[in-house]
Amino acid sequence: MAMSILRREGRRLLPSIAARPIAAIRSPLASDQEEGLIGVRSISTQVVRNRMKSVKNIQKITKAMKMVAASKLRAVQGRAENSRGLWQPFTALLGDNPSIDVKKSVVVTLSSDKGLCGGINSTVVKVSRALYKLNAGPEKEVKFVIVGEKAKAIMFRDSKNDISLTVTELNKNPLNYAQVSVLADDILKNVEFDALRIVYNKFHSVVAFLPTVATVLSPEIIEKESEVGGKLGELDSYEIEGGETKGEILQNLAEFQFSCVMFNAVLENACSEMGARMSAMDSSSRNAGEMLDRLTLTYNRTRQASITTELIEIISGASALEAAK
């Protein structure tokens, strides 16, 4: 009965550790049941010991990954918080219009390049897909611009035709404004849009990441909306200093807004990635620790059982000899 409980325990799977060591753990426990194979007894402790070694290594690796993510988070978090003031003036001037109805929307999906960071990339992809459904319709089209390997892999499967641009390896070098503005420039040059919707994970705290969508409108739409009135109606009351036409200033304004919002979004996403990786690796190492405890118990029980069996053999052999005399 103890053996069946152990087998049931061993079956509780870790999501982040590969399936192979877990399948392998089941076999020595199963082979323990077959007491007929006497030679297997000493080998099965060996097998359990190997499992313990590999699980301990996994625990060490995930602990190290957690520390690395924690130190990277500390580095990026300060910069992300400092950049939060950057997009606020634009939203104060132009307002926030996520529900604006436009012909050409472009959804810019920000994700990470590396994995093992929990669910943040799948939430961003889910939000992007929902935005696609929200904004698609007759005479309206939605295109994707994907930043990051993980979202690319997921979106390639079903929305391959709607992806206009993919960008990877953004986080290889430390992020700075010049790099992000070059990226923003690339996107603006290559993609036609009426509204850009940037989807990213905002860093709320080390354990909370909020999927957020920031909307940047093209200068033509801003002019149209300000004439119509509503949220942007007050824009007309603003005097324009410099530049020949209002359109020129609005063009520069929209481009500047996009690069500022992108900069903040990229930093926040990087922070969220590090935070999510920290908590994923933390739960991984904790699970590995629990598994190690269970394996240790199994190991000891197996060892004691084999010693007991040997003793029984010796004693029964000895008493048989006694009885024969």
Partner 1 sequence: MFRQASRLVSRSITAKSATNRAFSTEVPSTIDSSFVEAWKKVAPNMDPPQTPSSFMKPRPSTASSIPTKLTVNFVLPYASELSGKEVDMVIIPATTGQMGVLPGHVPTIAELKPGIMSVHEGTDIKKYFVSSGFAFLHANSVADIIAVEAVPLENIDASQVQKGLAEFTQKLASATTDLEKAEAQIGVEVHSAMNAALSG
Is 208 among the residues that bind partner 1 (CB under 8 A)?
Answer: yes
Q: Which of 4, 42, 71, 88 binds partner 1 (CB under 8 A)?
A: 88
Q: Which of 4, 27, 71, 82 binds partner 1 (CB under 8 A)?
A: 82
**Of residues 27-66, those binding partner 1 (CB under 8 A):** none
Q: How far is the CB of 235 from partner 1 (least distance, A)?
A: 8
59 or 215: whose CB is closer to partner 1? 215
Q: Which of 23, 75, 182, 240 binds partner 1 (CB under 8 A)?
A: 240
Q: Which of 3, 70, 86, 167 binds partner 1 (CB under 8 A)?
A: 86
Is 85 among the residues that bind partner 1 (CB under 8 A)?
Answer: yes
Residues 6+ apart with CB under 8 A from 41: 302, 305, 306, 309
Rounded CA-CA distance 235/95 in Å is 10
Is 253 among the residues that bind partner 1 (CB under 8 A)?
Answer: yes
Is 309 among the residues that bind partner 1 (CB under 8 A)?
Answer: no
203 or 299: whose CB is closer to partner 1? 203
Structure letter (DSSP) for residue 205:
S
51 or 197: whose CB is closer to partner 1? 197
Rounded CA-CA distance 255/188 in Å is 8
Rounded CA-CA distance 283/304 in Å is 32
Q: How far is the CB of 242 from partner 1 (least distance, A)?
A: 3
Is 84 among the residues that bind partner 1 (CB under 8 A)?
Answer: yes
Decide: 76 and 274 in contact? Cβ < 8 Å.
yes
Is 206 among the residues that bind partner 1 (CB under 8 A)?
Answer: no
Q: Which residue has the tokens 């500047």?
A: 256
Could you tell me the two tokens for 243? 């530049």
Size of the site for partner 1 (CB under 8 A): 50
66 or 202: whose CB is closer to partner 1? 202
Q: Which of 2, 30, 210, 315 binds partner 1 (CB under 8 A)?
A: 210
Q: How far is the CB of 55 from partner 1 (least distance, A)?
A: 34
Residue 166 β-bridge partners = 146
Closest C-alpha among 281, 136, 109, 276 to residue 200: 109
Rounded CA-CA distance 319/169 in Å is 74
Q: Which of 4, 18, 75, 238 binds partner 1 (CB under 8 A)?
A: 238
Rounded CA-CA distance 122/128 in Å is 10
Q: Which of 189, 205, 322, 325 binds partner 1 (CB under 8 A)?
A: 205
Q: Which of 27, 252, 309, 319 binds partner 1 (CB under 8 A)?
A: 252
Q: Are β-strands 163-167 and 195-203 bridged in parallel, bridged antiparallel, or unpaired?
A: unpaired
Q: Is 174 exposed, middle or buried (0-12, 13-18, 19+ CB in 10 A)?
A: exposed
Question: Which window, 38-46, 52-60, 239-247, 308-316, contacts partner 1 (CB under 8 A)?
Answer: 239-247
- Specify the 3-state DSSP secondary structure of 95: coil
Decide: 151 and 121 in contact? Cβ < 8 Å.
yes
Decide: 140 and 179 in contact? Cβ < 8 Å.
no
Phi, psi dihedrals of residue 241, rounded to the nearest 5°: -100, 130
Is 79 among the residues that bind partner 1 (CB under 8 A)?
Answer: yes
Residues at the interface with partner 1 (CB under 8 A): 79, 82-93, 95-99, 126-127, 130, 133-134, 177, 199, 202, 204-205, 208, 210-215, 234, 237-243, 249, 252-253, 256, 260-261, 263
